Structure 1
């Protein structure tokens, strides 16, 4: 994919207009710009004869672009000035550079279908990640001797089984998971990671049989937040039950705006594991290379999905450097890596912002809207980064919250609520932004299930605007649970937020 800056195009057309206008007016125009090393493209006016064009081409070594003797390129700046002054050109523009998307040169990258599927190549044109961002991987440790482990991005780990710094991976699971975030990328060998510069902190909590105590996992979460400076915590594990200690640790991390990503589970049952099902944790399900939900991927409580079936991964022994494996364990680090890229652009990214952006930018799969199998859909790194870049401000939470809303649909499967939102522009100037509306379904057995709508709004100074009726749907789990509408404003302007929310009316 090739992109040219809209701002640059705007500047070009502005300059072009001035050149043409002044030329037609007979002004003594001078074309200002760098005279050395630049290439310019221009088109002759229709009254310039073919013989004249050929003469110019031979004299100034012009290159014909369109094979119709109309459009040419040159590095001769004096010729450009001459032609503009003589009024012989329709337009002149700088010959802008064009770059291919960043594609790493790692040996097996062509076999990594999973990275292009989540928009990695396009995302790398924006950022490959910052070393200031740390992802804590709570797992089985790391096989440090692997030739494709980027040791410069690997922080000293900790083993919660032995209370030591020995985090050697004896099972391979942690290495497979961390490699999606950490593999040495663009080094001409092995695999590519989703991030090229983000650092990883391996926290060893699971034994060689893949088991761990939730107390140790809780310790690791607290330490990741308080001691290690993690912005993202990846937990490619789970359980159908949970302790209050684990819940408290998760809630503590979230209160510090540390984003937790967890695997939904591999039993294919109708309930994702904990901590994936906890409120505000990003639970991740698995899809295959055809974007179909994996049979083993657990349902309900899934927030988004990512590749997790037959993915090429780092191995954990010298004789088995690269392996193919499946599981939501490997879906989760795709999302952790994308969140790390987002945080590389916006280090103060909040949990709520992160979830809303992922929900808004993931590719909707399955039935329209969020659903138990896919959540909000397949994550897209580039779209998430683009969305983040569009906002110069923050998501501002306003004290507008309606609970116990009336359910208008009697359909036992699909429930809906319809409402309007009124916004007022307190400033004297026109303002533009995105209104984000969320519908939360509070169900203690599966966690929150969200509906989301994003409405572009433009409001004149001092005016109020009421949206068209908005209908939001969600799947009913248990009758009688609390429902809640919240409204947010995502700013697209640089000044203090002048937009206020006045009311929500349930229709």
Structure 2
């Protein structure tokens, strides 16, 4: 900015006629972006030469850049889950990702999903679990979306969103969601046969297997980078294969970069990534979209089991605790406080008054998770936090849209959701430096992770939140050998156990995987 201390339009210094000069910038400048005469200031768009001229002008007090300012509130872009920015995947192009193959060992892949790649995807039939291109469980399709959901104007985007990465799907889990460690070993062989450089395993078990450990050691020696979920038990026990020294163990953090309560904390945790309320693809028609919009403002809501899965609209009306039939709510959406009577009775009170939908707000901190039990409501109903309930009490009479509908996307919680962020970032970073080894990539990821929690490596976050661009910059600066050593540690062993993804079905209100 230029600040004029004496008059709105300062006169340029006189020309020295004794020597020939280069043509001067016109004065006043042609590119006045903003004129603030009451402050004796102008915002100008001028050349670098003109800037120095302004600084030399005795009628100008100061010249400085017109700095950018940003909103300090965070609104996640439609279609871009918070995790994509959190791991810096949106700061890099995946244009060269066709040089990498990422193998997903999971429950299958919904081939034909509108948000998932249909080309550059392969897999193989398994007599025990069925075709790789079906997914009765939903877990594998969600994982695949975090890695590779397309930039196509609908749904979400993944870490590698332009359909360049080669995916190979190995289906070891059917709808039941469990398998043996031997099946996992066989699956890794299929990954190698398919030419995979990176393997994602959003799965695990509480006991180690010596055969499995040898298999992953051999994979590492063969140049494959294996990534696995740290576990969802919220304790300090090791989970396998994540806790083998040859495997990258991934913890889960939320949108505020805080460790998830369910994320297992051990000395083998190496990296952290988004794993709480992660929105991604699920088999078509199996997800749930929960909606609550009041006065054109969207609010976070949870569906209530037993409510009618439709979207209803009407003015927002208060119904207090709803321990009796609501009054003056006909054709309106009932706003109800939790407490005294059951959720089913509250919804019935709204129905009795002619309400078209119900919004029940919590009476304690946190989100509201509710069910109507055996009651099948004739209206939609959702739950919200106490804080949002207090806000909506000031919005009575406002136009409201409430309810739920089937969707091709859903929110899941779990270290299963964190692992594919890291696997995707590993493949993305490796596509920039294809001559690096798997250990070079692993070291780059750990050396550039964003340190969270206790300073340095800790059992909750490991080395910290994985950062894609920082890792590429590190390799650009230091080369594949980098300036650090092997940052991995040894894993505990003992016993044999099956490997299985975390329990629970995901839906619009979240399911831990």
Please state which band the TM-score falls in when normalised by the shorter chain: 0.5 to 0.7
Show the counterpart of 2:269: 302
Instruction: Tell which deviates more after alignment, 293-302 or 232-241.
Output: 293-302
- Distance in 2 (CA, whole Å) between partners of 1:357 and 1:66 is 49
Of residues 164, 169, 180, the one that matches 1:213 is: 180
TM-score of the aligned structures, taking structure 1 as reference length: 0.59
* Distance in 2, Cα, partners of 1:319 & 1:365: 35
1:188 maps to which residue? 153
Q: Deviations over 1:458-489 (max 9, x none)?
A: xxxxxxxxxxxxxxxxxxxxxxxxxxxxxxxx
Residue aligning to 1:347:
434
Q: Which residue of 1 aligns with 2:414?
A: 327
Q: Which has the bigger relative contact order, CA under 8 A and spacing at least 6?
A: 2
Tell me how far apart the structure 1 counterparts of residues 117 and 274 of structure 2 sit (CA, whole Å).
22
Aligned CA RMSD, in angstroms, stands at 4.2
Aligned to 1:402: none
Give the superposition deviation at 1:273: 1.2
Query: Which of the numbers 100, 120, 127 marks the counterpart of 2:89?
Result: 120
Q: Summarize the Cα distance change of 1:169–1:440 in structure 2 as closer, same or farther, 3 Å threshold.
A: closer
Change (3 A) 1:70 1:315: closer
Residues 167 and 73 from structure 1, CA distance in 2 versus in 1: closer, same or farther, beyond 3 angstroms? closer
Superposed, 1:312-323 pairs within 5 Å as 312-318=279-285, 320=287, 321-323=408-410
1:142-161 correspondence to structure 2 within 5 Å = 142-152=109-119, 154-161=120-127
Show CA shifts across 1:339-388 (max 9, x none): 01111101133232222222211122222221111111121222222212
TM-score normalised by structure 2 residue count: 0.58
Unpaired segments of 5 or more residues in structure 1? Answer: 1-40, 43-48, 89-104, 397-433, 447-507
Displacement of 1:72 after TM fit? 6.0
Shift in CA distance, 318/357, structure 1 to aligned 2, threshold 3 Å = same
Contact 2:129–2:174 (8 Å) recurs in 1: no
2:369 matches 1:369: no
SS at match of 1:147: coil
**What is the deviation of 1:233?**
0.3
Partner Cα distance (2:487, 2:158) in 1? 35
The change in CA–CA distance for 1:115 and 1:245 in structure 2 (over 3 A counts) is same
Length, aligned pairs only? 349
Q: Report Cα offsets for 1:244-297 as digits up to 9, x if no partner.
A: 332232122211211100011111221231110111210001112222221211
Map 1:150-299 onto structure 2 (within 5 A). 150-152=117-119, 154-162=120-128, 165-185=131-151, 187-197=152-162, 198-225=165-192, 227-299=193-265
After superposition, the Cα gap between the structure-2 partners of 1:167 and 1:440, relative to the gap in structure 1 and judged at 3 Å, is: closer
Structure 2 residue aligned with 1:91:
none
Q: C-alpha distance in 2, partners of 1:60/1:373?
A: 57
Q: Decide whether aligned partners of structure 1 residues 66 and 334 sit closer, same or farther in structure 2, where only a CA change above 3 A counts.
A: farther
1:380 alignment partner, one of 460, 467, 490: 467
Report SS of the residue matched to 2:250: strand
SS at 1:303 equivalent: strand
CA shift digits 1:185-208 (9 cap, x unpaired) = 2x2111011112422211111121
Q: 1:139, CA displacement in angstroms?
A: 0.3
Tell me how far apart the structure 2 counterparts of residues 60 and 356 of structure 1 sit (CA, whole Å): 53
Q: Give the unaligned 5+ runs of structure 2.
A: 3-8, 15-23, 58-75, 288-407, 495-513
Query: Cα distance 1:360–1:189, how it changes in 2: closer, same or farther (>3 A)?
Result: same
Residues 1:394 and 2:363 aligned together = no
Q: Deviations over 1:414-460 (max 9, x none)?
A: xxxxxxxxxxxxxxxxxxxx3x25576546449xxxxxxxxxxxxxx
Higher strand proportion:
1
Question: For residues 264 and 53 of structure 1, do their structure 2 counterparts lie closer, same or farther at Cα, with a shift above 3 Å needed?
Answer: same
Q: Deviation per CA, 1:380-426, whole angstroms, max 9, x where unpaired?
A: 222222212212x3318xxxxxxxxxxxxxxxxxxxxxxxxxxxxxx
Aligned to 1:57, what secondary structure does the other structure show? coil
Task: Report if the CA contact (8 A) 1:263-1:332 is conserved.
Answer: yes
